[in-house]
Amino acid sequence: MIGTENWATQVQKMWKRTRRLGGRLLLAGVLACATMLAAAGATEPETHQPVKCPGEYGGHLQGLDVDGQGFVYWSMTVAIVKTNADGELVCRVDAPSHQGDLTCREGWVYVAVNLGLFNDPEERADSWVYVYDAADLSLLEKHPLGDVVYGAGGIAHDGEHFLVVGGLPDDRQVNHVYEYDEGFRLLAHHEIASGHTHLGIQTATFADGHWWFGCYGRPPQLLKVDRDFQMAGRYTFDASLGVAPLGDGRFLLGRGKCTDGTCQGWAVVGHSDAESGLRLDD
């Protein structure tokens, strides 16, 4: 498990991975990530406390996830960041805008990416999934998603399939979600009878037998959808900057702010609630 080996072992593993990927990682970058990994370490807290994504970025927080090994992964629009559970930096890589919400699965980090237009009725999006190595955030793969015509903005996994969410033109009353297999072959296109949500769906996760979708709006909206993609609830709650399950009905929820062109992100802890969908911990 990451964090239980010494840093020299981590460097050796990362260097072998670099060679296997045909030199796509520079050795200097590998050593930098390994050094930060050794300094930050991994923790296994009994409960996740509020945590900050260190640094300032040229885009706001788009989403986050945890890997069950004490690490948090953040998408800051133009960068992917890995921290430990205390918010100490492990790795950071710059990436083209727009990096959206992400999900971590079996040692890989999957990010929904749109290089074109969002929410465009003429469907001029350029949607992708970028796949990063969770250990050092080296870019491993890119998968085009031509089906996601309003812009890929978020991704999640339910243990069987990936689900990609994204934008929505102003005059549309159903949200679109796209179901993929492990090779990102389209399995189904689902329409969610949610009513209009501002700019579609921003974040996604699967927990407690349901999909949870965070949406912008004034006020922000939270959608809860069952496995058959039927609406189970629409709530006034802000999960639009990130939502990740911690187990036992608890979630890590993204928060952020932008000032003078730079943005910061952090996360707080909440729990499921029958009346409000989710509620912040006291």
pLDDT in tens, 49-64: 789 999 999 999 999 9
Distance of CA 89 to the CA centre of its chain: 17
Say if 4 falls within a structural domain. no
Indicate left, alpha or beta for 22 from its phi (over 0: left) and psi (-120 to 50: alpha).
Answer: left
Say if 80 falls within a structural domain. yes
Q: How confident is the model at residue 48 (pLDDT cuts 50, 70, 90)?
A: low
Measured distance CA(260)–CA(220) in Å, rounded: 23
* Mean pLDDT to the nearest integer, 153-172: 98
Q: How many domains does the chain have?
A: 1
- In the block, tokens 């060679």 appear at 19
Cα-flanking dihedrals φ and ψ of residue 93, to 5°? -130, 140
Query: The domain that contains 224 carries what CATH number?
Result: 2.115.10.20
Angle at 161 between CA 49 and CA 278, to 5 degrees: 35
pLDDT in tens, 228-266: 999 999 999 999 999 999 999 999 999 999 999 999 999
Lowest-confidence segment of 26-35, 207-216, 247-256 by average pLDDT: 26-35
Q: What confidence score (pLDDT) does residue 33 get? A: 63
Measured distance CA(191)–CA(194) in Å, rounded: 9
pTM, rounded to two decimals: 0.86
Q: What is the sign, positive or negative, of the torsion defined by CA atoms of 119, 125, 129, 130?
A: negative
Say if 240 falls within a structural domain. yes
Say if 28 falls within a structural domain. no
Q: How confident is the model at residue 29 (pLDDT cuts 50, 70, 90)?
A: very low
Identify whether the C-beta of residue 83 lies closer than 8 Å to the C-beta of residue 267: no
Cα-flanking dihedrals φ and ψ of residue 31, to 5°? -65, -40
Say if 25 falls within a structural domain. no
Q: Supply the range of the domain harboring residue 139.
A: 44-280
Say if 11 falls within a structural domain. no
Q: How confident is the model at residue 74 (pLDDT cuts 50, 70, 90)?
A: very high
Angle at 103 between CA 102 and CA 106, to 5 degrees: 145
Taking all residues of the chain, what is their mean pLDDT, rounded to a whole number? 88
Say if 31 falls within a structural domain. no
Q: Hey, what amino acid is at 102?
A: L
Say if 154 falls within a structural domain. yes
Q: What confidence score (pLDDT) does residue 50 get? A: 84
**Orientation of helix 27-40 relative to helix 7-20, angle to 10°:** 150
Q: What confidence score (pLDDT) does residue 70 get? A: 95
Residue 152 has pLDDT above 70, yes or no: yes
Measured distance CA(110)–CA(123) in Å, rounded: 23
